[in-house]
Chains A and B, each alone.
Chain A
Amino acid sequence: MIENDIAVQVRDLRRTFGSFVAVDNISLRVEKGEIFGFLGPNGAGKSTTIRMLCGLLKPTSGGGSVAGFDILSESESIKQSIGYMSQRFSLYDDLTIEENINFFSGIYNVPRQKRAERKDFILSISGLHERKEELTKNLPTGFKQRLALGCAVLHDPSILFLDEPTSGVDPMSRRNFWKLIYDMAGRGTTVFVTTHYMDEADYCGRLALIYRGKIVAEGTPADLRLRFMKQDVLEIPVDRPVEALESLEKEGLESAIFGSALHVVVDDAATEIPRIERILSAANIRAGKIEKILPSLEDVFVALIESS
């Protein structure tokens, strides 16, 4: 039974707001137990898609199924089998940690005999055992995020939708958070996660890149690198990245700033390196050693957008 292996499937899903097309006929398929990453810049249509899948928003056209239920007609059944964490922190700030957990256990109708065990589980994954009587608003963002994740999985959903779960969280907490996501996936939960942090894409089993409402690429991270990055990526450490970027782009070289370095996409590294060195020295910019690097997903994404 192929159907049973599919957690999420949509075809030609479209949503417009007035004349603005937020999601433009996308189709995708997520298998059970996968960590599926939905990548794209802000405003690309990630949240709109996820909100249609969770039954928060009606599609303008198209359809699909989540956990085997139709997203148009069976959204109530979907709600019982999914967990959702929105990009805004959305637990009750003015309740204590424990009150929040109790509230959502009740709302999700977690059986009474399982509630204590679930609460214990959530307090331990969020590391909040000692602070359970504190008001939620006093928690640092990283803890809030883990608590929100805990409350979203209280009822042990088969699919977990995470909408930008790590935005505004420090790198350490982000790593911890991803560890949690891995744990959940390890227990068989399907994870559908959106992010605009390209470095997080490597955590995902499979990816879809969305840009202006359209899916521009799909595949495993390694796949995407190979398939879409036929060109070479050069990394150039420079002292004044902004000016360096300007002078390279004036010469028609596609570049982007990464910290104190530039990434430049070229067809052939061997012929282009001397040319770049000439351009930079003409602009009086001190550059370090130019090296050919493995393209990051961000490079892939930039290349895809430029070509579309």
Chain B
Amino acid sequence: MFERIHQMIVKEFAQVFRDKRMVLMIIASPMIQLLMFGYVVTTDVTNVPTALYDLDKSQSSRELARSLEASGYFEIVNTPESPEGIRYLLDRGEVSCAVQINRGFEKEMLKGLPSPIQIIADGTDSNTAMITVSYAARIAARFGLDASKVALVNRERLPGVDARTRIWYNPDLKSRNYNLPGVIASIVMIVGLMLTSMAVVRERETGTIEQLMVTPIKPFELILGKTIPFAAIGYFDMMLVTVTGVFWFDVPIKGFLPLLFLCTGIYLLSVLGIGLFISTISRTQQQAMMAAMFFYMPALLLSGFVFPIDNMPPVFQYLTYINPLRYFLVIIRGIFLKGIGFSLLWPQVAALLILGITIITLSTARFRKRLE
């Protein structure tokens, strides 16, 4: 029994590493994704080109402008002289944010009256617009607070709320730190799905499966021989991305690595199970690849990797419960960013385990039936 499984594994590795496309997929595709998410896909907002329409032209208005720039989030690139100037600049995309300070800003502020300023953001990129507006509002609020403290220095203390925000786990809100665990999860999924399904379908396509079926090999030996190598490759990719992320992009790992290894294994159960399932519904390698993509794209969108699950319509939220990626993302982000352990992650681990065992049982049964 072990001899046959061993021979299958030796053969699968020989075939995978002899196929340049496969090697590219195993090594280059995780690296490219990692580099993309490390360098290109940052949702961080900095140096927003900003127009300042200053009608007050006072010391306070100049100070507010300086505070905006000093934050690092805004860069004042133009100072139009009319509201039409703001529209012109936004229309042409030369700025994506405009701040208008009305006449009498300083006077009202010194009187302790609310002194409104107008913040306009380019909503064609809604995400950036939201972040920009909230940054600007925060800076303006702090500026007002500081100013009123100066103004009130000789009077009684006024009661008020001073909200101080802190971001935990990822204090600089580096999207890279947030994305890396997601990249690992999605890489392990796509590589596991593709390799498993294609390795089985290739045997069907070339007719070698028939030759195998007349040998004394048992279905479970065949299944193990077809999954163990790709589980190993899944682990390899996980480590490749983790090591590069940690040493090249300085992404911190706060949690316990062995737990990550264990959970990756549980996650791989579902991934390889789905891969086997795809192999039972595909006749050619091309079909297997299509089916893998057909599963992978919605799985990625419904995982919380890019879009928060809480914002989805209820139907889609229910769908996420059968998505292994959803659970693994919570686990891997928890381990990387929060440093939390099994005591908090067990519900996800349990869900993943149940899902994994169910999928692999169903797929194995279907796979055996296809063989017989």
Question: Could you tell me if A90 and B211 are in contact, using CB atoms closer than 8 angstroms?
Answer: yes
Q: What secondary structure prevails in chain A residues at the interface with B? A: loop
Query: In chain A, what residue has the closest Cβ to B218?
Result: A76
B7 at the interface (CB under 8 A from A): yes
Question: Could you tell me if A108 and B210 are in contact, using CB atoms closer than 8 angstroms?
Answer: no
Q: In whole angstroms, what is the CA distance A92 to B130 when docked?
A: 57
Question: Could you tell me if A92 and B11 are in contact, using CB atoms closer than 8 angstroms?
Answer: yes
Question: Counting chain A CB atoms within 10 Å of each CB, which of B10, B15, B208 scores highest?
Answer: B208
Question: Could you tell me if B207 and A99 are in contact, using CB atoms closer than 8 angstroms?
Answer: no
B6 — which chain A residues lie within 8 A by C-beta? 106
Within 8 A of A (CB), among B107-166: none
Question: Could you tell me if A92 and B216 are in contact, using CB atoms closer than 8 angstroms?
Answer: no
A94 at the interface (CB under 8 A from B): yes
Question: Could you tell me if B15 and A95 are in contact, using CB atoms closer than 8 angstroms?
Answer: yes
Asked if A76 meets B206 with Cβ closer than 8 Å, knowing A99-B11, A107-B4, the reply is no
Question: Could you tell me if A95 and B11 are in contact, using CB atoms closer than 8 angstroms?
Answer: yes
A150 at the interface (CB under 8 A from B): no
B214 — which chain A residues lie within 8 A by C-beta? 54-56, 79, 82, 84
Asked if A84 meets B211 with Cβ closer than 8 Å, knowing A76-B216, A92-B11, A108-B216, the reply is yes
A80 at the interface (CB under 8 A from B): yes
Within 8 A of B (CB), among A39-97: 54-56, 58, 76, 79-80, 82, 84, 86, 88-95
- Least Cβ–Cβ distance between B27 and chain A, in angstroms: 19
Asked if A90 meets B208 with Cβ closer than 8 Å, knowing A107-B7, A109-B3, the reply is yes
B4 — which chain A residues lie within 8 A by C-beta? 106-107, 109
Question: Could you tell me if A106 and B7 are in contact, using CB atoms closer than 8 angstroms?
Answer: yes
B172 at the interface (CB under 8 A from A): no
A103 at the interface (CB under 8 A from B): yes
Question: Total interface residues on B, using CB and 8 Å?
Answer: 23
Question: Could you tell me if B216 and A86 are in contact, using CB atoms closer than 8 angstroms?
Answer: no
Question: Could you tell me if A90 and B11 are in contact, using CB atoms closer than 8 angstroms?
Answer: no
B14 at the interface (CB under 8 A from A): yes
B211 — which chain A residues lie within 8 A by C-beta? 84, 86, 90-91
A104 at the interface (CB under 8 A from B): yes
Question: Could you tell me if A92 and B210 are in contact, using CB atoms closer than 8 angstroms?
Answer: no
Question: Could you tell me if A94 and B216 are in contact, using CB atoms closer than 8 angstroms?
Answer: no
Question: Could you tell me if B216 and A95 are in contact, using CB atoms closer than 8 angstroms?
Answer: no
Query: In chain A, what residue has the closest Cβ to B1?
Result: A109
Question: Could you tell me if B213 and A56 are in contact, using CB atoms closer than 8 angstroms?
Answer: yes
B217 at the interface (CB under 8 A from A): yes
Interface residues as binary, B1-33 with A (CB distance below 8 Å gives 1, 0 otherwise):
001101110110011001100000000000000
Asked if A103 meets B11 with Cβ closer than 8 Å, knowing A76-B216, A108-B216, the reply is yes
Q: In whole angstroms, what is the CA distance A71 to B208 when docked?
A: 22
B210 — which chain A residues lie within 8 A by C-beta? 56, 86, 88, 90
Question: Could you tell me if A108 and B15 are in contact, using CB atoms closer than 8 angstroms?
Answer: no
Q: In whole angstroms, what is the CA distance A113 to B329 when docked?
A: 50
Within 8 A of B (CB), among A93-135: 93-95, 99, 102-104, 106-109
- Least Cβ–Cβ distance between B119 and chain A, in angstroms: 62
Query: In chain B, what residue has the closest Cβ to A81?
Result: B216
Query: In chain A, what residue has the closest Cβ to B371?
Result: A56
* 7 A-B pairs with C-beta separation under 8 A: A84-B211, A88-B206, A90-B207, A93-B206, A94-B14, A106-B4, A108-B216
Besides the known contacts A56-B210, A106-B3, A107-B4, 15 further A-B residue pairs in the complex with CB atoms under 8 A apart: A79-B215, A80-B216, A84-B214, A86-B210, A89-B207, A90-B206, A90-B207, A94-B18, A94-B19, A99-B11, A103-B11, A106-B6, A106-B10, A107-B217, A109-B4
- 3 closest A-B pairs by beta carbon, nearest first, are A106-B7, A90-B211, A88-B207
Task: Spell out A's residues near B (CB within 8 Å).
Answer: 54-56, 58, 76, 79-80, 82, 84, 86, 88-95, 99, 102-104, 106-109
Task: Spell out B's residues near A (CB within 8 Å).
Answer: 3-4, 6-8, 10-11, 14-15, 18-19, 206-208, 210-217, 372
